Amino acid sequence: MIMKGQKRKHPPEEVEISDRSSPMWESQRQLVFSVSLNKYHHGQELPEPSLRRSVLIANTLRQVSLEAFAAPSVDIEVSPPPCSSSSALHKSVVTAKQHPAETFSNSHSALVSCPTVTLNDLSYCVPASNAPLSLKDEDEDWGSLSKDSDFSLSAAISSILTALDSTIDSCSQAAPRTPLRSLENLSAPSDGGVAWVKQGLRGYGGGWEQQEEGREWESSTELMRCSYLSELTVEDLFQDIDTSLLERDMEVLGLIGSGGECPTGDDLLRYLPPFSSSPSHPFSLSLNQNLKCLPSLSSFGPLSSSLPSLSSPHFSSQNHVREGLDLEHLMEILVES
């Protein structure tokens, strides 16, 4: 209902867009994708979501993803369909239906079980170009602002977060834990990987400097992570991690600085996988460069003051390089754009 004195705005979706080459089609597709993702997660939070609704949403997600893959004007390289977010979500939907009482855990385990969601795939998800995003109007709905790069990164983030969930689900199949997942759990549980990502985007520079996009990211990934991490503590997630090998490295890396009372710093190092005696990793040369992205880690509360510079001489030794391998590798993937 338009109140008197208010200017009518042209409704954004007056026309049914069936022309794939139209730019509106792409934006609508992304909107539908994000809304569907949202709905899926909200549905999972319900004690017993409607099966019909879940199936329809999952089918829509799958269709939207397939159309993205088939669309000729798509700029981004999307990860191969066999394990797109939609199919992963679909699996989670239908798996969840088996045991409604375990919807929370089962859905996540099903998502994790998607075999092709790996770091390699995530590298495809970042936009090919570094074109800066245009400044959006602040009063537009976040969902309608998603562009190609936002969309792909949101897909990447969701994949990361879903990969995270194998640790949540105690009943799940044994899912391989990756370093990426461990980093995701660094901060306080309520932050998850979102703040990290946000800061990472900001720290990178280029087209990511606008606060609006950061907020969009936060809101989009917020929804995804809330359902995964809201009720868990970091300790719960990593009860099975052997920390003995890593504790000494914490000092070396300087992450336990003065006093060492940095719970998040402890978490960071506790969960870095033990390094092997492998030869120098090809990434080591770019370590310093990549670690410059690591200012994102400074967003983790108490850690901020105790992360002087990760490109400090602390990293000069081979061992320390290897320790940071997984760390910088995932950073590279997520932040590279």
What are the residues binding another protein (CB under 8 A)? Answer: 1-2, 11, 13-18, 28-29, 31-32, 35, 39, 47-48, 50-53, 55-56, 58-60, 63-64, 67, 90-91, 93-95, 97-101, 110
Give the span between the Cα atoms of 121 and 129, in whole angstroms: 17
Residue 95 CB, shortest distance to another protein, in Å, is: 6
CB 40 within 8 A of CB 64: no
Residue 50 CB, shortest distance to another protein, in Å, is: 7
Q: Which is nearer to another protein, 24 or 285 (CB)?
A: 24
Residue 86 CB, shortest distance to another protein, in Å, is: 12
Q: Which is nearer to another protein, 33 or 204 (CB)?
A: 33
Q: Which is nearer to another protein, 48 or 240 (CB)?
A: 48
Residue 100 CB, shortest distance to another protein, in Å, is: 5
Residue 315 CB, shortest distance to another protein, in Å, is: 44
Q: Which is nearer to another protein, 141 or 242 (CB)?
A: 141
Residue 80 CB, shortest distance to another protein, in Å, is: 18
Q: Which is nearer to another protein, 104 or 208 (CB)?
A: 104
State the DSSP string of 139-184: TS-GGGG--HHHHHHHHHHHHHHHHHGGGT-TTS--PPP-HHHHHH
Give the span between the Cα atoms of 125 and 153, in whole angstroms: 6
Radius of gyration over every alpha carbon of the chain, rounded to an integer in angstroms: 21
Q: How many CB atoms lie within 10 A of CB 317?
A: 11
Amino acid at 123: S
Q: Which residues of 220-253 are buried (b: 16+ CB within 10 A; e: fewer)?
A: bbebbbbbbbeeeebeebbeebeeeebeebbeeb
Q: How far apart, in Å, are the Cα atoms of 80 and each of 71, 89, 123, 163, 328?
A: 14, 15, 12, 17, 24
Q: For the chain, how many residues are written?
A: 337
Q: Which is nearer to another protein, 16 or 138 (CB)?
A: 16
